[in-house]
Structure 1
Amino acid sequence: MKSAALLLTLALGCNTICAQQKQFTIDEATLGMQTSLAAENIKQLSWIPGENTLAHIVKTNYGEAFISKSIPSQQVDTLLRLPAVNQSLFGKSALKAFPPLQWVDANTLYFEWQRRYFIASKQGKEWQAATWLTLPENAENASVEPNTKQLAYTHGNNLFLVNNLGKTIQVTKDLDGDIVNGQSVHRQEFGIDHGIFFSPKGNYLAFYRMDQRMVENYPLINWDDTPATVHYTKYPFAGRTSHEVTLGVYNPKTEQTTFLQTGEPKDHYLTCVTWSPDEKFIYVAILNREQNHLWLNQYDAQHGNFIKTLFEESDPKYVQPIHTLHFLPGKTDEFVWWSQRDGFMHLYRYDINGKLLNQITKGDWLVNEISGVNANKKTLYITSTKDSPMEKHLYAVNWENGKMERLDHDAGVHQISINSNGTYGIDNWSNGTIPRVIDVISTEKKWKQRLLTAANTLEGYQRPKIEDVTLKAEDNTPLYGKLIYPTNFDATKKYPVIVYLYNGPNVQLLSNSFPASGNLWYEYMAQRGYLVFSMDGRGSSNRGLRFEQATFRHLGTVEMADQMQGVNYLTSLPFVDVKRMGIHGWSYGGFMTTSFMLRKPDVFKVGVAGGPVMDWKMYEAMYTERYMDSPQENPHGYEEANLLDKTKDLKGKLLLIHGTMDSTVVWQHSIKFLKEAIKTRTQIDYFVYPGYEHNVRGYDRIHLMQKISDYFDLYLKSETAE
């Protein structure tokens, strides 16, 4: 008996030790946080419009059910059962799970499956599902108008409307495929993510029309066909001819389209498209090609006439409008405008005559989102970086006097959804050690209930020590970084280091969210004996305009100076092997990686650059000209950042990776780089992903991360690696 007890004790002890020593596989390190290691969540959690009632999906013994829960009473009701929906619509179990459910009002919702749209509505006390309509094959950009139950979509380059009687109307009839209607324009810069704009009551349909006939064709090769086939896309290079965009307004009653008179030059940018609540006007932010001057214009929606410019904004470097107007509830004459005019993204209240009524928020921090409103209290619910640029918190702010109050209490990054009454909110948050918590809170701070505390799916794995680091840029700006130690760290040893970076506009790598490392691949490499370091230098997002604009006209220069502060910090540590330092990044990070390997060739022994820009003259006009001006205006800046003429300076090992169908950073960047490397007899390692665009996603990403890991192992891990 004693022997059996001893064996049991040893077995239990071994299980505990073994569990603590569990290593991440490359599959888990790459896709685990989205699959097997994902934190528990509440599926399709939402507010029912106009009610203090939540809705979400639960699993039952009979399949999924869509339920409601009244707040604060907690009364639960079942709205839809998946088996019943399947039976009424398909006569069989076609749906294995509910598709995304979209609310129309408290008694109606809709969903889409395989190009078919279905409506579920409350009939008495029961909910019934019925077929609505079917879209043709290859239909894209579907947009539903819930009030009138209309749907617009694009097919090819034209726009179609299915009216509330089920009749399909072809709104545009452009025969030239280079004229595109109803799609995103300006290569999805300026916050643009769609091209169809129903009016608030559904009586009109506005849409982008983009004429690309004057833009150069760019070939993308499909290597799956034999022989390979060519698809041409329109690519407006920096400093070269760009497309021309207008905004049409279609009236379903008259079946006529009117175009807004947005004026010239025709290659300006149209964004922040907003209908007035009464449907009489459309507001458009017009940004000049130089991107340093903006006009907020009002147009007559019926006739397309220009009415007036409400106000203008300008900046010596650039203006970047990315938010539509937010009309205040119950008002047709007051709205909230987002602006960085004082150096940080803040909210301003205007009337429709262009009079500034007040600045709602101010300070050396920025507003991230408007999450909801409370009309009775004249309150906006916003998330902001007021407490820390590494976190995001919920605030209530009065839109007349600017009085603010924080509504959450826990450190971390908070994702917020406020109900339509502005009385309750869903607070979905995490921090470095907490995977996910979902709370329902009263906006008056009088009531709170926890809906979910997710278990830590990473327990049992060998996790590295993670240390927050704050350094200083040359101008004393704080720079936030993270140092990830090797597991089983021994301070008497010297370790190789991998620096992962992006350091480009509109991206922030580091935040106080789960996991604290920011990426399980970092932890995978730490388990393999590496130090991993990452830092957001000047030029990256969420720190204000001065921080971002420090790189203006000289991309890659200030960023390298900041990253060198990180390098100097690393080399000051006694356990860092300065002869075994590596660097890795993708896209802008690929540009930065290659820049370091060529412009500071003595710093890093090994670099892996994915989808890198090699010559900014070959990148798109909208992005590049904002941060660099045009090549004609800034030849020195472009030449300084050009990597094609610097291949001879490479000393370390460099692996370039590119997708063959990349229409963002076109494949020609790395092809031209290879050609220059051949001229200078410089040896480069190279790998392509056939058929992939700018990123390698899905299961094939495991292959990518294995290749990157193996490359560092081959040339960096061993002290004798050559």
Structure 2
Amino acid sequence: MKHIKFFLLISLFVTTILAAQTETITLEDIWKDGTFRTERMDALHSMANGQEYSVLNFDRETKSTSIDIYDYKTLEKVKTLVSSLNLEAIPYFTNYTFSNDENQVILATNEEAIYRHSALGNYYVYNVINASLDLISEDKIQEPTFSPDGKKVAFVKENNLYYKDLNSGEITQVTTDGKKNEIINGITDWVYEEEFAFVRAFDWNADSDKIAFIRFDETNVPEFSMDVYGSELYQTQQVFKYPKAGEANSNVSLHIYNVNEKTTNKVKVNKEYKDFYIPRIKWTNNPDFLSAQYINRHQNELDLWMINAKTNKANLVLAEKDEAYVDVTDNLTFLKDNSFIWTSEKDGYNHIYHYDKNGKLINQVTKGNWEVTSYYGYDENKNTIFYQSVENGSINRDVYSINLNGRNKTRLTKSEGTNDAAFSADFSFFINTFSSATTPPEYTLNSSESGNLIKSIKDNDKAAQILSDYITSKKEFSTIHVKDNDLNMWMIKPANFDASKTYPLLMYQYSGPGSQQVANRWNSANDYWYQQLAQEGYIIACVDGRGTGFKGAEFKKVTQNELGKYEVEDQIQAAKQLGDLPYIDASRIGIWGWSFGGFMSSNCLFKGNDVFKMAIAVAPVSSWRFYDSIYTERYMTTPQENESGYDDNSPINHVDKLKGDFLLVHGSADDNVHLQNTMRLAEALIQADKQFDWAVYPDKNHGIYGGNTRLHLYKKMTHFINETLGDKIQKEDETNVNQVKIKG
């Protein structure tokens, strides 16, 4: 009798769970209503005292923003530092930056995006002590930055560098030759911003009496223009300098401005560089010594220079070389004695190294057949480095501490998934952001010594509860053995999966060098789309092939000089092997991707025409000859040097092989992967007499979003998938309906 009662309880529990999961995810849920949106912590800044942190908060009722201060230990709000409700001049602000002493803060408002990272805006200095507000410039400016002493703010306006004395209000113009599409001072050009991922190309020294800046002469860089259709009678044009592979780059030079003397010196290094980049500059702790990283055009030789600002002499302290390329990072950290911490792949995996001020290796701090994925910082008081790595599996991330001498390594995070840390200024605490494929983002306060939980800050249990009402499937992680490599893979099957049936397969991938899509983290918007497709009867899979990241330099750099060869081979072979599974219909396999992923999906459909029935390519590169110099040449050298590498693996040269169904999508205002790629690919398909579907989204950039755009795009893609892969699903559904009618 007891056994029967227990069985009834279990049955009731299972029935309740199944009954709860009755709702089906819709595209409107994902792209319109934000049904599964998770909460996060925005613009968190650790205060200098190490005991408090600040957060940018938005009040939906008053539509105001505020900077609120919280206590690390109690997590309670200590005070509101400033609120836009109390500022007549600013109805809202979107970002903030403290001065070193935290007595002043720059507030950003009216920001308008230029490219991916850059923006123009109105910026104010708010004085915390007397609650005064000072507009830095009447005109919109870029990258306002406090001097370390908090007495000045440097900024760029119309390609020239300026600084403002906050006591007198006097503005000094440092450069005068700035001109659109010709000369830029202190701000990067388009290709640096996109590929070296920084905008502010100037830096104050520790004494606040010198500003180092990079000057870009882009006069000889070819121009690219995009029509902007807008709502007026005549379209306008956006014209900007864009160096495609093999074309002229900006001529760059490094300069140091002396605030007291109001003079500028051009930095000279004692090495001849014919064609080079300056991807990073950073003052050392010594106010007279500037570090600068120079890298050759092939990006396989990176030099770290120390420049004496008094004598203008440069000393080469470190030279990194690689047969493929050397990654540029923001990990360079100077210690009090001007020795420095550096990360490198020179032993085959990305690890942390310690060098003296002259570039002599002191020791390799981390070692092993795994990658350091983030460097968080160095605690001088405890002689400890904090970092993130994939030591616990390449799809997971954990936070670690280790002594500078490489001893006493401690794993600080406990949960398997993706952990990311934001440390307090004194490294006493860290706020850990954790998520996994089954757990939405959680924010917790942890001890930096043991990693032990101190307090929970914020969870997304509400989002998890909402999702529990919907029919979903587990994301299954595994590996698939392809071309003598175990490739990471995830798969999503329908909730009512029946191994005796066969299902169409849709593969997703990105595949770009060093990227990763198979990771143990919470859902992206696309994951909800895959859940929706799964419940419609599809199996979704993702495979990270050769060339992707976090499995060592050899695995990542095997694609050098032949982008699109090994990556495509891996996707085609993986599709073949998946098609051999008894529950996958090998005649209905599709693939899709965006950007590099669109380049890949196009190639897979063309070269794997006996495997793939359909492909969707969103904003794809159709020929590497059309893409920018820094990214493309890092992996391919120039087209003049590597003609076959460019042409043998570009989709535009394989259109004659198309047999399946192809959907091509692009935004007309894509400043990154230009619409030119799709237009030239479309023309090649037309001339090869190949039918295809396509869509161009007016005035949309590489992200193809805004208003109803994303919803429209995903409806179009879903319809295309149903039309090309779902024919048997539809027929089976129709058959079932007819049988019901007959029986009725």
Q: TM-score, normalised by structure 1?
A: 0.90
Structure 1 residues 211 and 68, CA gap change in structure 2 (3 angstroms): closer
Take 1:612 and 1:73, find their aligned partners in 2: how far apart are those partners? Answer: 49
Q: Does 1:513 align with 2:521?
A: yes
Partner of 1:3: none
Question: Which residue identity is paired with 1:527?
Answer: Q
Query: Which residue, 680, 687, 693 being the options, matches 1:679?
Result: 687
Q: Does 1:694 align with 2:698?
A: no
Contact 1:714 1:721 in 2 (8 A): no
Partner of 1:468: 477
Contact 1:658 1:689 in 2 (8 A): yes
Q: Does 1:194 align with 2:195?
A: no
Take 1:75 and 1:220, find their aligned partners in 2: how far apart are those partners? Answer: 50
Query: Which residue, 631, 635, 638 being the options, matches 2:643?
Result: 635
Q: Does 1:298 align with 2:306?
A: yes
Partner of 1:8: none
Tell me the CA shift for residue 714 of structure 1.
1.7
Contact 1:580 1:719 in 2 (8 A): no
Q: How does 1:496-507 map to 2 (within 5 A)?
A: 496-507=504-515
Contact 1:246 1:260 in 2 (8 A): yes
SS of corresponding position for 1:514: coil
> In the TM superposition, what whole-angstrom CA distance separates every residue of 1:569-600 from its partner, at most 9, and x where no partner exists?
32122221111111110111011011011111
Structure 1 residues 625 and 278, CA gap change in structure 2 (3 angstroms): same
Gaps of 5+ in 1: 1-12
How many residue pairs get matched? 696
Q: How does 1:132-531 map to 2 (within 5 A)?
A: 132-145=134-147, 147-165=149-167, 166-174=169-177, 176-177=179-180, 178-185=182-189, 186-188=191-193, 189-224=195-230, 225-262=232-269, 264-302=272-310, 305-328=312-335, 331-445=336-450, 448-455=454-461, 456=464, 457-475=466-484, 477-515=485-523, 519-531=527-539
Contact 1:220 1:230 in 2 (8 A): yes
Tell me the CA shift for residue 636 of structure 1.
2.0
Take 1:529 and 1:228, find their aligned partners in 2: how far apart are those partners? Answer: 44
Tell me the CA shift for residue 678 of structure 1.
2.1
Partner of 2:738: none
Partner of 2:37: 38
Partner of 2:11: none
Q: Does 1:546 align with 2:547?
A: no
Tell me the CA shift for residue 558 of structure 1.
0.7
Question: Which residue identity is paired with 1:704?
Answer: L
Q: Does 1:21 align with 2:22?
A: yes
- 709-718 or 258-267, larger mean C-alpha shift: 258-267
- 637-646 or 35-44, larger mean C-alpha shift: 35-44
Tell me the CA shift for residue 712 of structure 1.
0.9
Tell me the CA shift for residue 620 of structure 1.
1.3
Structure 1 residues 58 and 140, CA gap change in structure 2 (3 angstroms): closer
Question: Which residue identity is paired with 1:49?
Answer: A
Question: Could you tell me the percent identity over the aligned residues?
Answer: 29
Contact 1:142 1:154 in 2 (8 A): yes
Take 2:391 and 2:265, find their aligned partners in 1: how far apart are those partners? Answer: 44
Contact 1:65 1:80 in 2 (8 A): yes
Tell me the CA shift for residue 99 of structure 1.
5.1
> In the TM superposition, what whole-angstrom CA distance separates every residue of 1:349-373 from its partner, at most 9, and x where no partner exists?
1112111111111111121222233
Structure 1 residues 190 and 543, CA gap change in structure 2 (3 angstroms): farther
Q: How does 1:584-595 map to 2 (within 5 A)?
A: 584-595=592-603
Q: TM-score, normalised by structure 2?
A: 0.87
Structure 1 residues 43 and 548, CA gap change in structure 2 (3 angstroms): closer
Tell me the CA shift for residue 175 of structure 1.
5.3
Structure 1 residues 163 and 344, CA gap change in structure 2 (3 angstroms): farther
Contact 1:654 1:684 in 2 (8 A): yes
Tell me the CA shift for residue 407 of structure 1.
1.1
Take 2:148 and 2:22, find their aligned partners in 1: how far apart are those partners? Answer: 53
Question: Which residue identity is paired with 1:283?
Answer: S
Structure 1 residues 212 and 486, CA gap change in structure 2 (3 angstroms): same
Question: Which residue identity is paired with 1:247?
Answer: L
SS of corresponding position for 2:728: coil
Contact 2:122 2:137 in 1 (8 A): yes
Take 2:43 and 2:479, find their aligned partners in 1: how far apart are those partners? Answer: 38
Tell me the CA shift for residue 280 of structure 1.
0.8
- 19-28 or 515-524, larger mean C-alpha shift: 515-524
Tell me the CA shift for residue 153 of structure 1.
2.6
Structure 1 residues 272 and 175, CA gap change in structure 2 (3 angstroms): closer
Take 1:94 and 1:192, find their aligned partners in 2: how far apart are those partners? Answer: 29
Structure 1 residues 518 and 345, CA gap change in structure 2 (3 angstroms): farther
Take 1:146 and 1:38, find their aligned partners in 2: how far apart are those partners? Answer: 39
> In the TM superposition, what whole-angstrom CA distance separates every residue of 1:218-268 from its partner, at most 9, and x where no partner exists?
222222354333332222221222221112222222222222114643520
Question: Which residue identity is paired with 2:163?
Answer: L
Contact 1:272 1:324 in 2 (8 A): no
Contact 2:482 2:574 in 1 (8 A): no
Tell me the CA shift for residue 102 of structure 1.
4.2
SS of corresponding position for 2:673: coil
Take 1:138 and 1:702, find their aligned partners in 2: how far apart are those partners? Answer: 33
> In the TM superposition, what whole-angstrom CA distance separates every residue of 1:17-75 from its partner, at most 9, and x where no partner exists?
6652112221333466xx44222334554422123224446799998775544444667
> In the TM superposition, what whole-angstrom CA distance separates every residue of 1:170-221 from its partner, at most 9, and x where no partner exists?
2221154311122224433245443232223432222221111111122222
Partner of 2:714: 705
Question: Which residue identity is paired with 1:372?
Answer: G
Structure 1 residues 289 and 230, CA gap change in structure 2 (3 angstroms): same
Structure 1 residues 296 and 26, CA gap change in structure 2 (3 angstroms): same
Partner of 1:579: 587
- Alignment root-mean-square deviation, CA: 2.9
Take 2:526 and 2:366, find their aligned partners in 1: how far apart are those partners? Answer: 30
Contact 1:273 1:324 in 2 (8 A): no
Take 2:123 and 2:225, find their aligned partners in 1: how far apart are those partners? Answer: 36
> In the TM superposition, what whole-angstrom CA distance separates every residue of 1:376-417 from its partner, at most 9, and x where no partner exists?
221011111111211111111111244311111111111211
SS of corresponding position for 1:129: coil
Take 1:71 and 1:139, find their aligned partners in 2: how far apart are those partners? Answer: 35
Gaps of 5+ in 2: 1-13, 111-120, 732-744
Structure 1 residues 104 and 265, CA gap change in structure 2 (3 angstroms): closer
SS of corresponding position for 2:725: helix
